[in-house]
């Protein structure tokens, strides 16, 4: 669930299609990740996958008495060794990321050619390396795993050099709560069918889910390393972004203002519908009926366009066409505020060009056709290119719908959500009242999937991008850093934390974009340097992979067996 307001219901279908097309085009991006985005707080996702696996079946594997968990697997640099435990941990992380990518690909039409019913070493298809050469899925996962190990160790060591290697109270709490959630899973709890889950010690549970060498102490250390690595990235991004001279940022903006300015328009859509053949209808008859229906849509669009002389007449005509629709709000339904040129291009290229032309005046109208010819849009310009102030905010969403069914919760359940929101804010207020502690709570408790992994953060938000009540709170002229509150919207209750005023949209956008590029160059230099050259023992790694793939095969087989015996309703 995301809380950003849909700004253009009229072209949602086209947007979905573009997303799918972009996903197909970038299907290989998994092996070309931007290092600045590589450090995600993956522990939570790893824990969830582990919990699902162990909750579904009892994987009775005994790893007592195997090699010592400190057994060296390789080095990052001359002295910084990484252990088998670290290799197995990152291998599981890479494997789970792959499963997630494959799962998400089904909705976008991307084909990874990966069979989730088989372990990596039994795949018949291949992946690709950075140069497009075919490699086995085992080789692919190994490379990703070693890349992760190298990057995490580099960023951690660089953080130590900068003296930013101390965890905050909130970060320590985050680790504690993650470990305790895993302990609860290990101790067993009722399944959805009421059956009891098996009970394990935490260390036994960790061995089953993260490898032979894992225990609580090591898990805490690796989570600490990941958090500190993330702190390094955030520190460097902020440092670089602040280093730019304002004149340089302004010069970049003045080169191409249309890429950063915004406009407001009114937009009304007329969409063709594909007819289905009626019983006994011939192809020729259906074709004729379809042509007549399409022509009617075009005539309706032309009539609307002819009736519009300005914004007021546009709204009047929209209301007239929807007079029988319950609760129709012409203002809300047709308003597209703060639109970038790139966003209007997604509707129609000629619309974007027209809206950003210097000659186009406020109140002027235009009719455009979608790229596939299935829709006509009547548009009125209501505000010429302008700039806005942006803000950054964190929030914790407690939604008012069932996450699985999408159905609205009962009044009692919604009332409980409000109480829970107040309890979360009270819990934060009893601590150090910091942004870090709020972010930790957001990661743990928010139901907004769009910001869970970033501690509830939305950066450089411009007016009109969020639902009305949310938007009103964050853009209150008296709002200041550290302000908190609870805001109710159509999505539920939001526990709010105001982070900062970020200045003009173009400034924040250009500054952050340049910082990403410049930081990436620094990181690439570190990764390629002799200082952090990665070496490892191939036979040692292959042995670990063999055991890991055996465990994956066992889990897959037992999950399949459980599903085959599940009662059918």
Decide if 261-386 and 389-511 have a common fold.
yes
Contact between 521 and 114 under an 8 Å Cβ cutoff? The reply is: no
What percent of the chain has a predicted confidence (pLDDT) above 70?
84
Task: Please report, for residues 16, 94, 101, 303, 395, the alpha-carbon distance to residue 107 in angstroms, rounded to integers and kept in the order given.
Answer: 10, 21, 11, 38, 28
Adjacent-strand bridge partners of 395 = 496
pLDDT at 107: 66
Confidence band of 400 (pLDDT split at 50, 70, 90): very high
Segments making up each domain of the chain, as ranges: 33-243+537-565, 261-386, 389-511
Which has more pLDDT, 70 or 35?
Answer: 70
State the average pLDDT for the chain. 85
Contact between 213 and 84 under an 8 Å Cβ cutoff? The reply is: yes
What is the CATH class of 389-511? alpha beta
What is the CATH class of 261-386? alpha beta
pLDDT tens-digit profile of 335-369?
999 999 999 999 999 999 999 999 999 999 999 99
CA distance 135 to 536: 19
Confidence band of 21 (pLDDT split at 50, 70, 90): very low
DSSP assignments along 98-118, one per residue? HHHHHHHHTTTT------TTS
Structure pTM? 0.75
pLDDT at 189: 54
pLDDT at 67: 42
CA distance 21 to 237: 31
pLDDT tens-digit profile of 104-125?
777 666 778 899 999 999 999 9
Q: Is 318 exposed, middle or buried (0-12, 13-18, 19+ CB in 10 A)?
A: buried
Contact between 333 and 10 under an 8 Å Cβ cutoff? The reply is: no
């Amino acid at each position: 669930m995301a809380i950003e307001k849909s700004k253009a219901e009229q072209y949602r279908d086209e947007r979905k299609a573009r997303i799918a097309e972009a996903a197909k085009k970038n299907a290989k991006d998994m092996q070309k990740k931007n290092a600045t985005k590589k450090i995600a707080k993956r522990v939570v996702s790893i824990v969830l996958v582990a919990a699902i696996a162990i909750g579904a079946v009892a994987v009775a594997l005994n790893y007592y008495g195997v090699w010592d968990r400190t057994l060296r697997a390789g080095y990052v640099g001359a002295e910084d060794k990484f252990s088998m435990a670290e290799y197995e941990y990152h291998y599981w992380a890479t494997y789970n990321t792959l499963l997630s990518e494959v799962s998400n690909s089904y909705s976008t039409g991307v084909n990874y050619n990966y069979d989730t019913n088989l372990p990596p070493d039994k795949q018949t298809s291949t992946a690709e390396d950075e140069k497009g050469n075919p490699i086995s899925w085992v080789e692919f996962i190994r490379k990703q795993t070693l890349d992760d190990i190298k990057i995490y160790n580099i960023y951690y060591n660089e953080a130590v050099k900068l003296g930013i290697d101390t965890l905050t109270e909130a970060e320590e709490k985050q680790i504690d709560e993650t470990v305790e959630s895993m302990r609860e899973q290990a101790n067993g709890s009722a399944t959805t069918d009421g059956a009891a889950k098996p009970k394990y010690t935490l260390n036994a549970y960790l061995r089953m889910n993260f490898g032979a060498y894992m225990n609580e102490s090591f898990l805490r250390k690796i989570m600490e390393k990941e958090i500190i690595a993330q702190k390094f990235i955030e520190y460097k991004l902020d440092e670089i972004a602040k280093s730019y001279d304002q004149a340089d940022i302004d010069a970049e903006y003045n080169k191409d203002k249309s890429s950063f300015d915004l406009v407001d328009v009114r937009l009304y859509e007329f969409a063709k519908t594909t007819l289905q053949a009626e019983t006994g209808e011939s192809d020729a008859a259906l074709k004729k009926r379809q042509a007549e229906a399409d022509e009617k849509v075009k005539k309706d669009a032309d009539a609307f366009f002819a009736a519009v002389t300005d914004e007021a007449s546009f709204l009047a005509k929209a209301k007239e066409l929807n007079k029988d629709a319950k609760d129709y709000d012409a203002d809300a339904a047709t308003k597209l505020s703060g639109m970038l040129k790139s966003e209007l291009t997604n509707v129609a290229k000629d619309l974007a060009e027209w809206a950003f032309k210097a000659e186009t005046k406020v109140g002027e109208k235009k009719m455009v056709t979608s790229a596939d010819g299935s829709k006509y849009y009547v548009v009125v310009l209501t505000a010429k290119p302008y700039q806005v102030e942006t803000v950054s905010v964190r929030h914790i969403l407690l939604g008012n719908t069932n996450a699985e069914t999408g159905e609205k919760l009962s009044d009692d359940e919604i009332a409980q959500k409000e109480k829970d929101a107040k309890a979360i804010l009270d819990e934060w207020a009893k601590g150090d009242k910091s942004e870090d502690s709020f972010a930790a709570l957001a990661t743990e408790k928010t139901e907004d999937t769009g910001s869970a992994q970033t501690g509830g953060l939305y950066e450089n938000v411009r007016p009109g991008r969020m639902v009305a009540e949310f938007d009103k709170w964050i853009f209150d002229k008296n709002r200041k850093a550290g302000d908190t509150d609870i805001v109710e919207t159509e999505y539920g209750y939001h526990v709010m934390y105001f982070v900062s005023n970020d200045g003009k949209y173009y400034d924040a956008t250009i500054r952050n974009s340049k910082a990403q590029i410049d930081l990436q160059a620094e990181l690439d230099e570190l990764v390629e340097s002799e200082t952090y050259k990665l070496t490892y023992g191939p036979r040692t790694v292959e042995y670990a992979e063999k055991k890991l793939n055996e465990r994956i095969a066992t889990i897959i087989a037992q999950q399949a067996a459980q599903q085959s015996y599940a009662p059918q309703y």
